[in-house]
Amino acid sequence: MQAETRSAPTLVLSGATVVVALDPPEVVAADVVLAGDRVAAVGTAPPGVPRRDCSGTVVVPGNVCAHHHLYSALSRGMPYRLAPPTSFTEILQRVWWRLDRALDEEAIRASALRGGLDALRAGTTTIVDHHASPNAVDGSLDIIAETLAELGVRSVLCYEVTDRDGPARAAAGIAENRRFLARTSSPASAGLARGLVGAHASFTLSDDTLGQVVDLARTAGSGVHIHVAEDGADQDDSRARCGRGVVERLDRAGVLTDRALLAHCVHVAPAEIHAVVDTGATVVCNARSNLNNAVGHSPFLHVRPGADIAVALGTDGIGGDMFTESQVAYFATRGAEAATAAGWPLERLTDGARFAGGVHGEPLLGTLRPGAPADLVVLDYPTPTPLTVDNLAGHWAFGMSPAHVRDVLVAGDLVVADRRSTRVDELEVAAAGAAEASRLWARMDEIPPHDFEPSARR
């Protein structure tokens, strides 16, 4: 499968077992030849090119987290002094909608730095992030983009437009999306970052604001990244507001297009599933988050092989580890339906890479085929059994983990080498993150639970 690009080779990863693609699986014993930011060839490397010894390792395409909230990166172990939430809406009111109001520019940067580093160390090279900081909206996406670029992470970013904090902040959110989309419209100026139009969820969006979100997406040629029916409260609100379900409301508004990214989609009926499929939108399931919040299990997790729907996976802010996320999602799905095939997580990760690649104009993202972006991970994974095309899925589900990540390359740059970032001092990042977390938690203590309620409960 030797093939060459026009650029001269710049680096060889030699002697590895190479997973060229996850779905359908392609596995070869070969060298990976890079030319700048591209995969030049997978085969036998030419002489005279600098080499990095990868003997005994497994080289895989970098993982994509298709739905993240990096602003939650400093919430681990966060003290909680209010009455425990008894519903999903109360989780938002008492935890996340207090945290996002406590964010300032320093906390946004510290969260992106800590979260981005954790993702890279876990073998995630692309993050699709959904950001909210209602008291620090303007320029917030630039802070995240620049911080992730400093680390060497590829990203797709948006600001979460919502009416829950009033019309001025809703307008600021739309303006932030518009500004960032304009900034990243040219690959030359965008670097590793691209944009989408962000929106929180149907139940916190008025018809007018939702219309403005859709108008911006159409004008910019972008998609809308939005939470859909994560909890039954979203459906109850939509029916109380307009007499129809969430998916129909969003579809009539123009949200559902082949560029849309729909997070969660847990409480959806069969007719709504068909409507999503018909529009070509991509669904992102977040199994660990849904289990943690006890909101249910998305029916989209039971997509059949060959189905005409893209179903990706995200963490919804629970770190950036897509090995663990894909494994938990697989086990949860298989627990509900024993017919779930072993290759299921590989299909889901491929769908996420296809979406992110589409936004970046990189159709080969998520593969190591010649011409693909050189986003890849070297796993120090001593296989206890042979690794082949036929059993890659078994190794992925039952063996591979972030603990095996040795090296990470993004756009051809070695951003993690021998388990350490080449861009930042990890001990300094940890110390700065801990200090900023303490300040963030102190500010959060002064913020009361949010008073926003879905329409059905007002």
Tens digits of residue pLDDT in 377-390:
999 999 999 999 99
In the predicted model, is pLDDT for residue 206 greater than 50?
A: yes
Confidence label for 189 from pLDDT (cuts 50, 70 and 90): confident
SS3 359: helix
Full-model pTM = 0.97
Residues 6+ apart with CB under 8 A from 414: 52, 407, 408, 422
Q: pLDDT (tens digit, 9 = 90+) per residue, 315-371?
A: 999 999 999 999 999 999 999 999 999 999 999 999 999 999 999 999 999 999 999
Confidence label for 3 from pLDDT (cuts 50, 70 and 90): very low
- Measuring CA to CA, which residue among 243, 248, 258 is closest to residue 228? 248
More confident residue, 107 or 187: 107
SS3 22: strand
Let me know if 168 is exposed, middle or buried by CB neighbors in 10 A (0-12, 13-18, 19+).
Answer: exposed
Q: pLDDT (tens digit, 9 = 90+) per residue, 265-318?
A: 999 999 999 999 999 999 999 999 999 999 999 999 997 666 789 999 999 999
Average pLDDT value for the chain: 96
Q: How far apart are CA 207 and CA 244, in angstroms?
A: 13
Q: pLDDT (tens digit, 9 = 90+) per residue, 8-48?
A: 999 999 999 999 999 999 999 999 999 999 999 999 999 99
Phi-psi region of 289 (alpha: psi -120 to 50; beta: other; left: phi over 0): alpha
In the predicted model, is pLDDT for residue 179 greater than 60?
A: yes
Q: How far apart are CA 196 and CA 244, in angstroms?
A: 26
- Give residue 5's pLDDT: 45
Domains of the chain, first to last? 11-61+368-421 (2.30.40.10), 63-360 (3.20.20.140)
Confidence label for 432 from pLDDT (cuts 50, 70 and 90): very high
Residue 5 exposure: Cα atoms within 13 Å on the Cβ side: 22
Confidence label for 410 from pLDDT (cuts 50, 70 and 90): very high
Confidence label for 457 from pLDDT (cuts 50, 70 and 90): low
Instruction: List 20's β-bridge partners, or say none.
Output: none
The four Cα atoms 118, 123, 125, 126 give a dihedral, to 10 degrees, of -80
In the predicted model, is pLDDT for residue 1 greater than 80?
A: no
Q: How far apart are CA 86 and CA 96, in angstroms?
A: 14
- Give residue 455's pLDDT: 78
Q: Which residue has the tokens 């190591």?
A: 368
CB contact at 8 A, 18 and 368: yes
| Beta-strand relationship, 261-264 and 224-228 | parallel
Confidence label for 4 from pLDDT (cuts 50, 70 and 90): very low
Q: How far apart are CA 129 and CA 148, in angstroms?
A: 11
Confidence label for 63 from pLDDT (cuts 50, 70 and 90): very high
In the predicted model, is pLDDT for residue 235 greater than 90?
A: yes
Q: For residue 42, give the amino acid letter.
A: V
Q: How many CB atoms lie within 10 A of CB 442?
A: 11
Percent of the chain with pLDDT over 90: 95
SS3 149: helix
In the predicted model, is pLDDT for residue 439 greater than 60?
A: yes
More confident residue, 457 or 205: 205
DSSP character string of 273-329:
HHHHHHHTPEEEE-HHHHHHHT----GGGGPPTT-S-EEEE--TTS-S-HHHHHHHH
Q: How far apart are CA 163 and CA 233, in angstroms?
A: 16
- Measuring CA to CA, which residue among 334, 396, 295, 347 is closest to residue 60? 396
- Give residue 303's pLDDT: 76
Radius of gyration of the chain (CA): 21
In the predicted model, is pLDDT for residue 55 greater than 60?
A: yes
| Beta-strand relationship, 261-264 and 38-43 | unpaired
Q: pLDDT (tens digit, 9 = 90+) per residue, 102-136?
A: 999 999 999 999 999 999 999 999 999 999 999 99
In the predicted model, is pLDDT for residue 259 greater than 70?
A: yes
Residues 6+ apart with CB under 8 A from 165: 101, 134, 452
